Amino acid sequence: MATRVPRIAPSEITPPEVYFSRRALLAGALAAGVSTLARGAGSPPAGAAPLEYTANPRYSVSEAPNRYEEITTYNNFYEFGTDKEDPSENARNFQPRPWSVTIDGEAETRGTFTLEDLLKGQPLEERVYRFRCVEAWSLVVPWVGFPLSSLLARFKPTSRAKYVEFTTLYDPHRMPGQRSSVLAWPYVEGLRMDEAMHPLTLMVVGLYGRVLPNQDGAPLRLIVPWKYGFKGIKSIVRIRFSATQPHTTWSLAAPNEYGFYANVNPAVDHPRWSQATERRIGAPFLAARRPTLLFNGYADEVASLYQGMDLRRYF
């Protein structure tokens, strides 16, 4: 358990628009360069390894993606520091290969598998998803990955498997943020089985057509687009099928602030701030905040998973 309750209050961080203006100025660009004109294209560095994938328009939004730089320099990855720019700096030398993932718990097939083995026979797709952080900022991201359901099916979960628990690498030597007790390490997240098997739930290995950068959770992370970003656990080393609801990192740290479900919901405020609106990273300085959408705009696809549940209680 953390010795100090972590606080991720928007008021305590540099607002993204200020942050990006500063970076743009530092780069010698005009402050106007952070306007919408500069958004859309994005350009991964030439060195990033390209992936083979097909675009999946069925599961993509038509909004313009954020720029590569925005997605890779404004991160939450406390294993590499708590400031937004820390992960891009402190994860630079992290080596995400070789990598293996242990599958255990309520499944017929268990064991430790190399990343290459897990990726075998999984065609990669690009999906442009909305991403809403619990801190009330948002992005649009062209992820590359494959449905979690097709990975899980391979291990033949038993009828006792009601939840899936994910764990991040614990290695304070390679992840310097783990030398501080800001969170209880390793980072753990979880989904109900039907959420894990939903076709929108994605295992991500890439971004902008290239191999996933370290700061975004290399080599393997989860993305659940209708939930707050903290459900999207990074650098996964363990997947466990469980009969009981997993104890997840943020809900252990502050149970009244971060629930297990964490479904994006403009009607259920965080105890310390409103969730009704959000700021799109990279939007012009004076741009209006956007209304936050129920289930982050994916209600048609996922609302039925929560039929009959009180979303205020199961937040």
Q: What angle do CA 18, 21, 22 make, to 5 degrees?
A: 85
Closest CB to ligand MTE: residue number: 229
State the Cα–Cα distance between residues 55 and 256, nearest whole angstrom: 39
State the Cα–Cα distance between residues 22 and 28, nearest whole angstrom: 10
Task: Report the half-sphere exposure of 103 (CA within 13 A, side-chain side).
Answer: 19
For the bound state, the minimum distance from the C-beta of residue 212 to ligand MTE, rounded and expressed in Å, comes to: 9
Map the footprint of ligand MTE across residues 128-167, applying CB under 6 A: 133
State the Cα–Cα distance between residues 70 and 74, nearest whole angstrom: 6
Which residue shows structure tokens 């972590």? 6
3-state secondary structure of 236: strand
Task: Provide the CA 282 distance to its chain's centre, in angstroms.
Answer: 18
Does residue 19 belong to the site contacting ligand MTE (CB under 6 A)?
A: no
Number of residues that bind ligand MTE (CB under 6 A): 16
Does residue 261 belong to the site contacting ligand MTE (CB under 6 A)?
A: no
- CB atoms near residue 117 (< 10 Å): 12
Nearer residue to ligand MTE within complex by CB, 10 or 284: 10
* CB burial of residue 1 (10 Å; 0-12, 13-18, 19+): exposed
Nearer residue to ligand MTE within complex by CB, 34 or 139: 139
For the bound state, the minimum distance from the C-beta of residue 118 to ligand MTE, rounded and expressed in Å, comes to: 18
Q: Which segment (37-45, 53-61, 75-83, 91-99) binds ligand MTE by CB under 6 A?
A: 75-83
Instruction: Pick from 17, 69, 70, 79 the residue near ligand MTE by CB under 6 A.
Output: 79
Q: Which two tokens stand for residue 61?
A: 């939004």
Nearer residue to ligand MTE within complex by CB, 147 or 217: 217
* CB burial of residue 121 (10 Å; 0-12, 13-18, 19+): exposed
Q: Which segment (18-26, 70-78, 108-116, 303-311) binds ligand MTE by CB under 6 A?
A: 70-78
Instruction: Pick from 90, 168, 214, 248 the residue near ligand MTE by CB under 6 A.
Output: 168
Nearer residue to ligand MTE within complex by CB, 190 or 232: 232
- CB atoms near residue 126 (< 10 Å): 20
- The site map against ligand MTE for 211-250 (x = CB under 6 A) is -----xx-----------xx-xxxx---------------
State the Cα–Cα distance between residues 263 and 93, nearest whole angstrom: 34
Task: Tell me which residues touch ligand MTE (CB under 6 A).
Answer: 75-79, 133, 168, 187, 216-217, 229-230, 232-235
